[in-house]
């Protein structure tokens, strides 16, 4: 097993990885920007190294500085967490060339699945349904317009690379296509360094369902069931649950088998999340693959009792998966709320000093966070300061538990989205499960 791992990330996911490493007897190295010198992950790690100024491009995205930090500290492996360099195939390849193990998939895996256009073709050839799209058209606006007429409006224009809701535009009519095309390409180039976009048929009011996978280099793979991530605002997830109340065991088994077929076909290694749209007729359509650990991985951990971070580390170490598919049992219900430093009405960021911080407690109540009383939330990064995750025997119990826990979560000095989350948790449509990816927008318009 690795003796020392460098965490190439910050915030709550860096703290989460450090905790897993400690429990496995592995020493950790934190990297940080000058703005993050007082962050929790820096305080918790065995060693810490400053890798640059606040801008991510000069610190957490600075590959040479991160590799140097790993070499200076004799780190044997790097865990990238999510975001930043986690899906950067060049970074994974550089780690490999430097003799440092990248805790994630191979660069070849990422190049194949990280490109949504390529991933759509792969899964379609292996029997997974995809929405009609412009998969064979590249960098040709006129050909794209012809494809749009053939597919039919409304449409979604999507960046081939990246995620997080960037490079996505809805196109209602032919008059909107040209402007959306240039805007999406510009945003995709800015965020992902790749301006390639494609069209996909718009799916009206679907649920967002994703399936968690683990695979080792020995050909063993398991699917850990699904998460429902339909509660979103502007393509950003807010509340995640496991399992989905709409996915029955037979469908879970069928989709899982199709996903594992893809995983084994390309010799995929480590963690991955296959994301789908579930339409009102109960049909699943493949959307994309995230070749990393997800923000919402804790809900899957709660319902399966499997530590995904530890499994990532073991797989990267070359160990065989000890979990077999028949060992995966979905028990109870788990809900995760993202706690953001933002105004609960207009959702503007709210950086600043936290003057009071009280986390909730109780049986099966978990908080993954980066904050504490006296911590200053920085304006340079995303607004996520923590995640509240609960588990109970059923969804009703989980809702009651997370509502109580949220009432105990007290943060002063900055604004947070806690009041907004409370409103959703008390909404009749949410409680009954009558939601889809357009739910939050309709909720806000009431």
Residue 211: DSSP 8-state: E
| 146 sits in which H/E element | helix 141-151
Annotation says 292 is catalytic = yes
Among 21, 20, 41, 23, CA closest to 31: 41
156, 134 contact by CB (below 8 A): no
> Could you give phi then psi for residue 43, rounded to 5 degrees?
-70, -35
| 7 sits in which H/E element | strand 4-7
Say how far apart CA 201 and CA 135 lie, in whole Å. Answer: 12
Question: Catalytic pick from 169, 292, 338, 366?
Answer: 292
115, 290 contact by CB (below 8 A): no
Here the tokens at position 438 are 């357009």
Among 213, 336, 184, CA closest to 276: 213
Q: Produce one character per residue of 97-113: b if its CB has 16 or more CB atoms within 10 Å, e if not.
A: eeebbbbbbbbebbbbb
Residue 56: DSSP 8-state: G
Question: By three-state DSSP, how is residue 93 classified?
Answer: helix
Say how far apart CA 66 and CA 72 lie, in whole Å. Answer: 10
Say how far apart CA 169 and CA 155 lie, in whole Å. Answer: 9
Say how far apart CA 347 and CA 287 lie, in whole Å. Answer: 27
Say how far apart CA 331 and CA 334 lie, in whole Å. Answer: 9
Say how far apart CA 333 and CA 392 lie, in whole Å. Answer: 6
Here the tokens at position 422 are 């409370």
Say how far apart CA 16 and CA 11 lie, in whole Å. Answer: 9
Number of residues that this document lists for the chain? 446
Question: By three-state DSSP, how is residue 105 classified?
Answer: coil
157: left (phi over 0), alpha (psi -120 to 50) or beta: beta
209, 226 contact by CB (below 8 A): yes
Q: Which residues are catalytic?
A: 292
């Amino acid at each position: 097993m690795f003796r020392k791992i460098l965490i190439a990330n910050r915030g709550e996911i860096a703290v989460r990885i450090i905790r897993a490493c400690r429990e496995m007897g592995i020493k950790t190295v934190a990297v940080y920007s000058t703005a993050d010198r007082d962050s929790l992950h820096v305080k918790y790690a065995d060693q810490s190294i400053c890798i640059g100024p606040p801008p991510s491009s000069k610190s957490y995205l600075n590959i040479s500085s991160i590799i140097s930090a790993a070499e200076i500290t004799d780190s044997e492996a790097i865990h990238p967490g999510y975001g930043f360099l986690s899906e950067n195939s060049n970074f994974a390849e550089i780690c490999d060339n430097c003799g440092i193990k990248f805790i994630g998939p191979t660069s070849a895996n990422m190049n194949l699945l990280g490109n949504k256009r390529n991933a759509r073709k792969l899964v379609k050839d292996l029997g997974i349904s995809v929405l009609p799209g412009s998969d064979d058209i590249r960098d040709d606006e006129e050909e794209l317009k012809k494809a749009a007429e053939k597919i039919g409006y409304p449409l979604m224009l999507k960046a081939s690379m990246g995620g997080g809701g960037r490079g996505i535009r809805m196109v209602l009519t032919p008059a909107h296509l040209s402007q959306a095309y240039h805007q999406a390409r510009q945003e995709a180039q800015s965020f992902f360094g790749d301006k390639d976009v494609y069209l996909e048929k718009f799916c009206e009011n679907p649920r967002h369902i994703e399936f968690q996978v683990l695979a080792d280099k020995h050909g063993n793979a398991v699917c850990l069931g699904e998460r429902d991530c339909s509660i979103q605002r502007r393509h950003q997830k807010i509340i995640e649950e496991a399992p989905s109340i709409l996915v029955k065991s037979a469908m879970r088994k069928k989709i899982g088998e199709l996903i594992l077929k893809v995983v084994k076909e390309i010799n995929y290694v480590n963690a991955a999340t296959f994301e789908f749209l579930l339409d009102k007729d109960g049909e699943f359509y493949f959307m994309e693959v995230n070749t990393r650990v997800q923000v919402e991985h804790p809900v899957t951990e709660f319902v399966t009792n499997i530590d995904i971070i530890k499994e990532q580390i073991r797989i990267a170490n070359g160990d065989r998966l000890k979990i077999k598919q028949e060992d995966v049992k979905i028990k109870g219900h788990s809900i995760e709320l993202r706690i953001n430093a933002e105004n609960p009405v207009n959702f503007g960021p709210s950086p600043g000093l936290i003057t009071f911080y009280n986390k909730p407690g109780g049986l099966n109540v978990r908080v993954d966070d980066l904050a504490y009383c006296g911590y200053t939330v920085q304006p340079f990064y995303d607004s996520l300061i923590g995640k509240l995750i609960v588990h109970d025997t059923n969804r009703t119990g989980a809702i009651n538990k997370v509502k109580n826990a949220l009432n105990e979560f007290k943060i002063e000095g900055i604004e947070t989205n806690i009041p907004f989350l409370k409103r959703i948790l008390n909404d009749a449509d949410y409680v009954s499960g009558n939601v889809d990816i357009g739910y939050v927008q309709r909720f806000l318009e009431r």
